[in-house]
Structure 1
Amino acid sequence: MTGGHHPDGRLLVPLYVHPAVDPAAWQAVAAADPKRVAAVVLNLADGPGEPDHVFTEAAEKLRKAGLPLLGYADTDYGRRPHAAVVNDILTYRQRHGISGVYLDQVSAVPGALPHYRRLATAARAAGCATVVFGHGDHPDPGYAEVGLADLLVTFEGDWAAYQALALPLWTGRHAAARFCHLVYGVPAERAGEAAALIAARRAGVGCAVPGAGENPWSTLPHQLTAGRPLPEPI
C-alpha cells in the first residue's frame, strides 16, 4: 500500500472479532485473494491487549496467507498521549509482525496536525510501511498532505448515512487510492450497490458489512461472503 502503485478497488477488513469466538470468519479472511485485500486490521482490545496465543496464531495464519496486517491503535482524537500510542504500535510489531498501523479516532481539525505528524513519523520509524488515519469523516485537507497517512478513512457509518454523503471538493485533488469508506448495516441485497457507490465516490479502498450495533465490524464484509470484489473506481 505504499508508493501509490497498488490497484484501486480493494478491501480493508476491520476484523474485530476474536478468533475463538468466530473461527470461521478468520478462516474466510485467510482464504481471501491477497491481491484484493489492502489490509486486515487486528484489534484485540481497542489495541494490542494482553498476550493471547489463540489470537497470535490466527494472526500468523493471515500473515502467512500474504495479507498485510495493521495494528489498531486508538488515538482518542488527539487526547491519548503520544507515547501510549507508540507503545501499542511497538507491541503489535513485536507480537504480530504488523506491516502497518490503523490509527483510529483521529482528529479532523488542523490544530491536531502536528500531533499526528509526529505519530506518523514514529510509526514509520517503528517499521510501519503503511499508516492509516481513521477519521470516520472528512478531515481538514491538511491531513492528506504527503508524508502523513497512506490512507484516510473519510467515512465510517451506516448505510443510510452513506447514501446521503456529500464529498468535499478537495478530495478530487488526490488519488482514489488515498481514501477508504467503511459502511456497516448494509443488507445483503444492497451489497453490490454499496460496493458500486464506494467506487463511484472515488474511495479506492472500502468495506461494507451487514453488522450493526455496538461492534458492526464483528461481521464479515459482503465482498468475502458473497464473492463480490469491489468494482474499480470510475
Structure 2
Amino acid sequence: MSTLLVPYYEHPSVRPAEWDALIAAAPRLYGVVLNPASGPGDAPDESFAEVAARLRAAGTRVLGYADTDYARRPSADVVRDLTRHRDWYGTDGVFLDQVTSGPAEFAYYRRLATAVRGTLALNHGTTPHPSYGRIADVLVTFEGTWSTYRRQPPQPWRGGTDVRLCHLVYGVPDGVDPAVAGADLYCAVPGVGDHPWGTLPHTLEPAR
C-alpha cells in the first residue's frame, strides 16, 4: 500500500493548522519535506525548527529540501544546504530537487550522496536511468498534473527493487486517490500553478 511523502512549502506561522494536521497524521506518513526558503535559508528559523522537532517526536522522518538545478549548482553549495538542514532542523535526510534523469550527470549525484546522512530522496520528476537506484532510498519518478498523470503515467522502473518509487501529483480533484500500483510513496494535492506544494492532500486538510 502506498504511503505519503508530503512536500509542504508553507511557513508554520502562516499555516499553523495545516502543520498541526501533518503532525497528527504522522502514522500515515513516510516523511515530510522541510523547505524554509527554497532550502534551509541563511539563518535558522525557530518556527521550522519547532515543527521539525514535533514531526520527529511523532515518528515521522523530516527531509531537508535542496535544489540541484539539474547538476548545474555547485556541489559545495548543495552540501552546505544539507549541513544547515541537519544542524538547524535535525533532519533525517534530504530531498534533492531538479535532479537529472540521464546517466551523464550521475557522478555529480553520486558525490552528493556521500555527504547525506540518513534518507536520500531524488526528485527526477520522471523515470531515471537505473544507476540512480544504487545511491538513493527514494526516486520520484513522476511530478506533474493529474491530467498528465492520467494521460501519460510513469514509465516502468527497470532498476533494482531496493529503492522506493514516489509519484507527486497536483491539481487533483477532491475525492480522487491517484495511488497506483508501482508507487510505494505518493502525494496528491489540489494545488495548481507555480506553487502547488503550498496545499495539503485532501485527506490531511484541517477541519474549518
Flag whether TM exceeds 0.5 (same fold): yes
State the alpha-carbon separation in 2 of the partners of residues 93 and 183 from structure 1: 28
What is the alpha-carbon distance in structure 2 between the residues aligned to residue 167 and residue 38 of structure 1? 21
Matched, 1:116 2:109: yes
CA distance in 2, matches of 1:214, 1:21: 19
1:149 is aligned to 2:136: yes
Q: Hey, what does 1:231 align to over in structure 2?
A: none
d(CA) in 1 for partners of 2:140, 2:159 = 16
Paired residue total? 205
Residue 199 of structure 1 aligns to a residue whose secondary structure is coil
SS at match of 1:73: strand
2:5 is aligned with 1:12: yes
Does the alignment pair 1:45 with 2:37? yes
Q: What letter is aligned with 2:174? A: A
Q: Is residue 175 of structure 2 the alignment partner of residue 175 of structure 1?
A: no
1:129 is matched with: 118
Structure 1 residue 84 displacement after superposition: 0.5
Contact (CA 8 Å) 1:178, 1:203: kept in 2 or not? yes
Aligned runs of 1:67-78 on 2, under 5 Å?
67-78=60-71
For the residues of structure 1 that align with 2:25 and 2:146, how far apart are their CA atoms? 24
Counterpart amino acid of residue 97 in structure 1: G
Distance in 2, Cα, partners of 1:175 & 1:142: 12
Q: C-alpha distance in 1, partners of 2:199/2:87?
A: 27
Instruction: Give yes or no for the alignment of 1:204 onto 2:194.
Output: no
User: Is this contact kept in 2: 1:177–1:204, CA < 8 A?
Assistant: no
Displacement of 1:172 in angstroms is 5.1
Aligned counterparts of 1:22 and 1:30: Cα–Cα separation in 2? 13
Give deviations 1:88-136, integer Å, cap 9, x for gaps.
Answer: 001011011111100000011211000100101111xxxx221000111
Residue 170 (structure 2) aligned to one of 184, 193, 210: 184
Whole-Å Cα distance in 1 between the matches of residues 203 and 124 of structure 2? 23
- Residue 61 (structure 1) aligned with residue 58 (structure 2): no
Write the letter of the residue equivalent to 1:184: Y
> Which structure: greater helix fraction?
1
Structure 2: how far apart are the matches of 1:173 and 1:109? Answer: 13
Where does structure 2 lack aligned partners over 5 or more consecutive residues? none
Contact 1:208–1:223 (CA under 8 A) maintained in structure 2: no
Q: Which amino acid aligns with 1:38?
A: Y
Percent identity reads 51
Q: Does 1:28 align with 2:15?
A: no
Residue 89 of structure 1 aligns with an amino acid whose one-letter code is L
Determine the C-alpha separation between the residues in 1 that align with 2:83 and 2:103: 27
How far 1:175 sits from its partner (Å)?
Answer: 3.5
Q: Are the counterparts in 2 of residues 74 and 103 from structure 1 also a CA contact under 8 Å?
A: yes
What is the rounded CA distance, in whole Å, between the counterparts of 1:43 and 1:33 in structure 2?
Answer: 18
